Amino acid sequence: MGLSLDASIALVPIAPFVAALLAPLVHRLAGPVTGWVLALVPAALFVLLLVNFVAPMTHGETLALAIGWVPSHGLDLAFYVDGLSLIFALTILGVGTLVILYAGAYLAGHHHLGRFLGFMLAFMGAMLGLVLSDNMIGLFMFWELTSITSFLLIGFDHSRQAARRGAIQALVLTNIGGMCLLAGAVVAHQLSGTWLLSELRGMEDLVRQSALYGLVLALFLGAAFTKSAQFPLHFWLPNAMEAPTPVSAFLHSATMVQAGVYLLSRMTPVLGGTEVWTGLLVTFGALTLIWGGLGALKQTDLKQILAQTTIASLGLLVLLIGLGSTAAIAAVVVYFVAHAFYKAALFMVAGAVDHEAGTREITALGGLADKMPVTFIGAALAALSMIGLPLTVGYFAKEEMYLGLVSGEWSAFLVLAVLVLGNALLAGVGLLVMTRPFLGDELPTPKKPHEAPVAMLAGPIVLGGLGFLAGILPDWFGHDVLVPGASAILGQAVESHLSLAINLASPLLWLSILTWLLGVVVFRQATRIRGALRRFDAALGWSADKVFDVCYFALVRFAGAVTRFLHHGNLEYYLVVVFLALGIALFWPLVSLGGLDWITPTAELGDWSQRLVLPDLLPYEWAVLLLAVVGLLAVLIASSRLIAILSLGVQGTALALIFLLFGAPDLAFTQLMVEILSVIILTIVMTNLRLDARDHRPFEDWARDGTLAIVCGAGVSLLLMLVLTGTLDTRLSDFFTQTSVPIAHGANIVNVILVDYRGFDTLGEISVVMGAGIAILALLRRRKGSVATPPVEAGRGGEKGQEV
C-alpha cells in the first residue's frame, strides 16, 4: 500500500470536477462522440478503484488520506475508504459511466450538451466526495455541492416553469437538510472534539449517552430524511422528474437520494441501536415504503411511476437501517446494490421509450417489444430483479430482509407484514413497467418507434445483466460486496450466507412466494387501484406539495412586505433617517461618557476668555477659511441649482486647500479631484432635470433639515475637538514612518498603506466601488422606463462610490 495508492483516493472526487470544466470544450471538439469521450473519466476511475481497492477492502482493511485544508482551524480534507464507501463509490462510477454514455445519445445534437455533461460530472465528483469524506465539514461541503449541482440538473430545461419549480423545490428542501447536517456536525464536534467520522465511530457511546443525543439525532435525521425523500418530505422527488431522463437515472436511483441512506449507515455505530432510532426510522421508513408503493400505482407516466417506487425503496432502506440487526444491515447493502442496478436501468428504459416512441404514458404504449427488442430485454432483466425472482440479486435482497424478522415477536411480525406488502406493491409495479409498454396490442404513438442507439442500450443491458450475474454468483457477491459493506456499517465482521439452494421448508421461501402472489394481484388490479387512489386524493384535496407552495409563497410575500416597508423609495426619508442615526451616534457617547464636561460652564467663568483665543493663523490661511464659509453660505442662499452646485464646489475646494496647507497633500489631491468630479456629475445630472430655480420648500422641512444638519455638524466638531484635547497615540504612525521605506520600498506612507500594508482592505474597497458602479448603471438604465427613479439618487450613489 504505497503512497501513490493513498493519494489516488483524492483523485477520485477531484477528477470529475476537472472533467466537468473541460466538458463544454470536449463537446466542441468531439461533437457527436462527446458522451463516449467523457464516459472515459468515470470508467477509468471505476477501474482504478476496482483494481486497487477491492482486494484490501474484502480483507477488512481501510485507507485514509488527509490533505491540509484550513490548518489554522485544524481542518483537513480527509478521505476514508472502507467497504461501505467503496460500494457507494463503485456504484456511482459504474452507473455514472453508463449514464454519461446514455446522456450523450439522449441529448445528441442538443446545443448545451457539453454544459449538461459538465453538470453531470460535477455532480458525480460531489457525490464521490460525499461518500469518501471522513471529515464532517468536508462531508457537508460535498453534500451541499450535490444539492447545487442537482439544482442545475433538474432545472436544466430552464425555459419550462415546471422544471424551474422542481429545481427550486429540491434545492430548498435538500438545503434545509444540509443546514441540519452542518448543525449536527458542529454539535457532534462539540461533544467529541473531532471532525473525523472514523474517530467518532471509535467513541461509540459518547454521543448516545450525552444529554444532547436527541438534538444530534434530530439534526442528522433531518439531513437524511430530506435528501432521501422520506415521508412527509418526499414530494420534491416526483417534481424533480422534470429533469431530462439521464438525470433521473443517475440522481434518483443510485446517487443523490441515496446520500441520506449513506449518512444513516455511516452514523449507525454512533447514533444507532437506541429505541428512539429504531422507532423513528422504522416508522418513517414503513410509511414512506407504503406511501411510495401506492403512489406508484397512482401514476401513468413511466418516469413518475419509477420516481414513486424510488421513494418506496428509500423508505425500505431506512426501515432496514432502523432495524439494525446483522441480517437487516446485510439486506441494506444487497438491496442498495440491487436497487441501483434495476432502477437506473429502468429509468434509462423509460427514457429510451420516450425518446423513440414520443410518449411515456403507460396507457398510450403497447406492443413495443417487436420494434425495440433490445430495450425490452433490458427492461425485463431489470424488472425481474425488481420483482425479486430467483437468479437475480433482487431475490437475495428480499431473502435477507425477511431473514431477521421471522422470530415470532408481534412487532417483528408487523414490520414483516409491511415489508411483504411493500415488496408486493413494488413487484406489481415492476410487472406493470415490464409488460405494459412492451407486450400486448401495438398502440399508435406520436413517433414511429424504432430501436434506440447503442449508447442508450448499453446501460439497461449491462445493469440488468449485472443484476443477474450477481444473482447467479452468490459466493462472489457475498464475499466481495455484502461482507465488506455490512462489516463497515456495523463495525464488526459479518458472514455471508447467500446461496442458490432453495429450501422448501424455509419460511423465507414461502414469504417470497406470498410476495409474488400479492404482486400479481396488484398487477391485475392496477387500473382499479389507480382509480380508487385517485378518488381518495381528490377527496383529500391537498398534499405535501401544496403545503410547500403555500409556505413558499407566504415567505415570498412576507419578504416583499418587509422590503416595501424598509425600502419605501422616498429619498428624503432615507436621508432623514441616516442623519438622525448619525446625530444620535455622535451625541449619545459624548453625553453619556462625559465628553461634554470640558465645555460646560463651571463656577470659574473667567476661564472662558482663555479658551476663546483666536487661533494663530497666517492671513492667507484666514482667507481659505473665509472661502469655505462663503461657499457654504452661498449654497444656502443660492437662487438657482447651478449656483448651489458650484458653491458647494467652492466650499470643497477650500477644504482641499486646508488639507494642503496643513500637511496632507494626498488628501488634498483626492479631495480636489472628488470635488471636481462631483460638480461635473451633479451638473450633468441636473442638466437632465432643471438647473434654474430651486423648489419651494415649506418651513417645517427647512426647520427639520436645518436642525439635523446643525446637530450632525456640531457633533462631528465636538468629537474632533475632544479627540484633539487628548494626547495622540503615535505608535502606528511612528511604525509606518519607520518601516515604510525599508520594508515597503515607498516614501509616500498613505499610498504604501493603501497598496501594501492594507492591500487586502483596498482590494475589498475597489470591489465595492465596482459593485456600486454596476448598481448605478442598473439604476440609470431604469431611468427612462420609470419616472419614480430620478437620476439624483444615482448621482448620490456615485459620490458614495468615490468616497469608499
Partner 1 sequence: MNTIIFRTAAPLIVATMLVFSFYVCLRGHNEPGGGFIGGLIAAASIAVFGMAAGVPEVRRALKVDPMAIAGFGVVLAGFSGLLSLLTQSPYMTSIWLYLELGNTTVPLSTPLFFDLGVYFVVFGTLSAIALALESDREEDL
Question: Residues in the site for partner 1, rule: CB under 8 A?
Answer: 665-666, 669-670, 673-674, 676-677, 680-681, 684-685, 688, 744-748, 750-752, 754-756, 759-760, 762-763, 766-767, 769-770, 772-774, 776-777, 780-781, 783-784, 791, 794-795, 798, 801-802
Q: Which is nearer to partner 1, 367 or 801 (CB)?
A: 801
Cα 371 from Cα 551, distance rounded (Å): 47
Q: Which is nearer to partner 1, 36 or 659 (CB)?
A: 659
Angstrom distances, CA of residue 113 to CA of 44, 244, 458: 22, 11, 19
Q: CB of 628: closest distance to partner 1 in angstroms?
A: 21
Residue 68 contacts residue 13 (beta carbons within 8 Å): no
Q: Which is nearer to partner 1, 545 or 756 (CB)?
A: 756
Q: CB of 773: closest distance to partner 1 in angstroms?
A: 3
Q: Is the dihedral of CA 453, 456, 457, 458 positive or negative?
A: positive
Tell me if residue 485 falls in helix, strand or coil. helix
Residue 313 contacts residue 227 (beta carbons within 8 Å): no
**201-211 burial code (b ≥16 CB/10 A, e <16):** beeeeebbebe
Q: CB of 571: closest distance to partner 1 in angstroms?
A: 17
Q: Which is nearer to partner 1, 316 or 794 (CB)?
A: 794
Residue pointed to by grid coordinates 403497447: 366
Q: CB of 795: closest distance to partner 1 in angstroms?
A: 7
Q: CB of 747: closest distance to partner 1 in angstroms?
A: 4
Strands 63-70 and 75-81, sheet pairing: antiparallel
Q: Which is nearer to partner 1, 525 or 748 (CB)?
A: 748
Q: Which is nearer to partner 1, 148 or 755 (CB)?
A: 755
Q: Which is nearer to partner 1, 737 or 751 (CB)?
A: 751
Q: CB of 780: closest distance to partner 1 in angstroms?
A: 5
Cα 281 from Cα 398, distance rounded (Å): 19
Q: CB of 789: closest distance to partner 1 in angstroms?
A: 13
Q: CB of 779: closest distance to partner 1 in angstroms?
A: 9
CB atoms within 10 A of CB 313: 30
Q: CB of 681: closest distance to partner 1 in angstroms?
A: 6
Q: CB of 800: closest distance to partner 1 in angstroms?
A: 11
Q: What are residue 408's phi and psi, to 5 degrees?
A: 105, -15
Residue pointed to by grid coordinates 476514508: 80
Cα 38 from Cα 763, distance rounded (Å): 39
Which residues are CB-contacts of 128 (< 8 A; sequence separation ≥ 6)?
Answer: 12, 13, 16, 45, 89, 92, 93
Q: Nearest CA to 298 among 545, 540, 530? A: 530
Residue 574 contacts residue 796 (beta carbons within 8 Å): no
Cα 342 from Cα 384, distance rounded (Å): 9
Q: Which is nearer to partner 1, 363 or 751 (CB)?
A: 751
Q: Which is nearer to partner 1, 21 or 777 (CB)?
A: 777
Q: Which is nearer to partner 1, 48 or 772 (CB)?
A: 772
Which residues are CB-contacts of 271 (< 8 A; sequence separation ≥ 6)?
Answer: 207, 208, 213, 216, 217, 220, 277
State yes or no: cis peptide before 698, omega within 30 of 0.
Answer: no
HSE toward the beta carbon, residue 473, CA cutoff 13 A: 10
**The three three-digit cell numbers of residue 309, written as one number:** 417506487
Q: CB of 11: closest distance to partner 1 in angstroms?
A: 23
Q: CB of 764: closest distance to partner 1 in angstroms?
A: 10
Q: Where are the beta strands (DSSP E) in 277-367?
A: none
Q: Which is nearer to partner 1, 594 or 771 (CB)?
A: 771
Which residues make beta-bridge pairs with 133? 79
Q: Which is nearer to partner 1, 406 or 754 (CB)?
A: 754
**The three three-digit cell numbers of residue 523, written as one number:** 398487477
Cα 516 from Cα 402, distance rounded (Å): 14
